[in-house]
Amino acid sequence: QSALSQPPSASGSAGQSVTISCTGSSSDIGSSNYVSWYQQHPGKAPKVVIYEGNKRPSGVADRFSGSKSGNTASLTVSGLQPEDEADYYCCSHAGAYRVFGGGTKVTVL
Amino acid sequence: QEELVQSGAEMKKPGSSMKVSCKASGYSLTRNHIHWVRQAPGQGLEWMGRVDPKTGGTKSAGKFQGRVTMTTDTSSNTAYMELTRLTSDDTAIYFCAREDWHFILWGPGTLVTVS
């Protein structure tokens, strides 16, 4: 159960878009309908922003969107806002197990 | 209001054990699996395992097998995670999370320091 691979950092100016990739394998992302993304602000618990690859929970801004192709999932934040500055983690089912990505720190310039 | 309430911060000695509690409030614990996720200082999230409160069945990540025990007490609507043979590498915030195919509700975390 190896961690999924995410870039350590990403940035964009307010109003711009940023896309974060999450690369796994055929044992996790490639064979799962359950890829989710979590936002974590410093000192806080994570919060889901995307689930089942591309679904957005109620209350999450429609600026957040997700997609998947093969063994790679992606999270796009459009129209960056200052409050979007946070760490983002992908997570995939891998059979009965779960595996997280290493996390990406998003900075709003 | 549905929430998960975790036990307070702990200081532990190397070689000892820790046990963190996670009490479900506003819903029945048996409704979903409870997962445990930890985060070492300045590091990412690490999945430890999960427990099915209905059956008591568990599944844990390979690196924790033999060291982690996850249980539930449905009478008190509480889940527990015990980790033995602690080392300094176990210093982390330990989160419980309710899963409905994704982690829909998180506890605030419990800081455990091993020193």
Q: Which of chain B's residues have a Cβ under 8 Å away from the Cβ of A98?
A: 35, 47, 50
Q: Which of chain B's residues have a Cβ under 8 Å away from the Cβ of A46?
A: 45, 95, 103, 106
Q: Which of chain A's residues have a Cβ under 8 Å away from the Cβ of B37?
A: 100
**Number of Cβ pairs closer than 8 Å across A and B?**
53
Contacts with B, A 62-81, CB within 8 Å: none
The shortest C-alpha distance from A78 to chain B (Å) reads 23
Per-residue pLDDT, B37: 98
Per-residue pLDDT, A2: 85
Per-residue pLDDT, A65: 98
Q: In whole angstroms, what is the distance from residue A67 CA to residue B84 CA?
A: 39
End-to-end CA distance of chain B: 37
Per-residue pLDDT, A78: 97
The shortest C-alpha distance from B51 to chain A (Å) reads 11
Closest Cβ opposite residue A52 in set B101, B106, B107: B101
Whether B61 contacts chain A with CB within 8 A: yes
Per-residue pLDDT, B81: 98
Q: What is the dihedral of CA B101, B62, A91, A27, to 10 degrees?
A: -90
- Reported as a single tens digit per residue, the pLDDT across B5-47 is 999 999 999 999 999 999 999 999 999 999 999 999 999 999 9
Per-residue pLDDT, A30: 95
Res. B1: pLDDT tops 80: yes
Per-residue pLDDT, A1: 72
Q: Between vectors from CA B45 to CA A84 and to CA A28, what angle results, nearest 5°?
A: 100
pLDDT tens, per residue, chain A with 109 residues: 789 999 999 999 999 999 999 999 999 999 999 999 999 999 999 999 999 999 999 999 999 999 999 999 999 999 999 999 999 999 999 999 999 999 999 999 9
